[in-house]
């Protein structure tokens, strides 16, 4: 099983687009810590896109598993009312785990953003948490420094510094030459030169 295929399946599961096979593939691989990390990273990325930020590290699946593991398996002999009571107890503790998780997950937006900023997720740059799309508070172009000063960049390194502006430029200019929507792609291309 290649890593790529697995990641793709994960992505598909997240988009609700996975077929049976992909779902099974993901479930099988879910014991693997790395896979779970990837999953939670995708969740964060998705949450940022949907603007409902949550505690990224919170792992409901793990909490549920733990709750199940802690629960003593009801003795086989115990027939009668006690047995169903035991089952109820398991169900209840799982419910509590899930509910606690859900409550934490669905913090309102502001609290969520604060949390994310406090936890300093290595994957996500702070500004992106606020939403990648904000026009308010733009700066005059002459104020900006560096090739990507306005963008939200993560995992920055020399290579990206060198290549990304070129890629962005090529994309914008090629779009402009293929553009159907009038001057818009030109304006986009031009705006990338304004640094």
Q: Give the residue with the Cβ less far from another protein, 83 or 130.
A: 130
Residue 55 tokens read as 């505690």
Binding mask 2-31 for another protein (x = CB under 8 A): --x--xx--xx--x----------------
Stretch that binds another protein, among 25-33, 48-56, 59-67, 96-104 (CB under 8 A): 48-56
Contact between 167 and another protein (CB under 8 A)? yes
Cβ at position 29, least distance to another protein in Å? 15
Among 19, 23, 30, 46, binds another protein (CB under 8 A): 46
Contact between 162 and another protein (CB under 8 A)? yes
Contact between 118 and another protein (CB under 8 A)? no
Locus of tokens 């990837």: 38
The number of angstroms, rounded, from the C-alpha of 88 to the middle of its chain's C-alpha atoms is 34
Distance CA 94, CA 101 (A): 11
Among 1, 139, 145, 146, binds another protein (CB under 8 A): 139
Cβ at position 134, least distance to another protein in Å? 6
Distance CA 178, CA 183 (A): 11
What lies within 8 Å, CB to CB, of 145 at 6+ separation is 195
Cβ at position 27, least distance to another protein in Å? 19
Among 81, 141, 145, 146, binds another protein (CB under 8 A): 141
Q: Work out whether the CA dihedral 174, 177, 182, 184 comes out positive or negative.
A: positive
- For residues 54 and 124, the answer to whether their CB atoms sit within 8 Å is no
List the end-to-end C-alpha distance of the chain, in Å, as a whole number: 44
Contact between 194 and another protein (CB under 8 A)? yes
Distance CA 22, CA 12 (A): 8
What lies within 8 Å, CB to CB, of 66 at 6+ separation is 97
Total residues interacting with another protein, rule: CB under 8 A: 68
Angle at the Cα of 8 from the Cα atoms of 156 and 18, rounded to 5 degrees: 140
Give the interface with another protein as residue ranges (CB under 8 A): 4, 7-8, 11-12, 15, 42, 45-46, 49-51, 128, 131-135, 138-142, 144, 148-160, 162-164, 166-184, 186-194
């Amino acid at each position: 099983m290649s890593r790529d295929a697995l990641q793709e399946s994960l992505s598909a599961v997240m988009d609700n687009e996975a077929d049976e096979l992909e779902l099974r593939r993901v479930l099988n691989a879910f014991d693997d810590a790395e896979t779970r990390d990837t999953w939670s990273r995708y969740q964060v990325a998705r949450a940022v896109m949907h603007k409902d930020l949550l505690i990224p590290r919170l792992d409901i699946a793990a909490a549920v598993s733990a709750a199940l593991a802690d629960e003593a398996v009801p003795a086989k002999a115990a027939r009668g009312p006690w047995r169903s009571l035991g089952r109820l107890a398991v169900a209840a503790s799982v419910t509590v785990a899930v509910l606690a998780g859900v409550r934490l997950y669905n913090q309102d937006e502001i609290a969520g953003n604060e949390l994310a900023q406090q936890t300093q997720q290595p994957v996500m740059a702070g500004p992106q948490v606020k939403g990648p799309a904000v026009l308010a508070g733009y700066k005059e172009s002459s104020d900006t420094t560096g090739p990507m000063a306005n963008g939200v960049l993560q995992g920055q390194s020399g290579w990206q510094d060198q290549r990304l502006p070129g890629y962005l430029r090529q994309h914008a200019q090629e779009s402009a030459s293929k553009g159907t929507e009038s001057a818009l792609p030109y304006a986009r291309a031009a705006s990338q030169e304004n640094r």
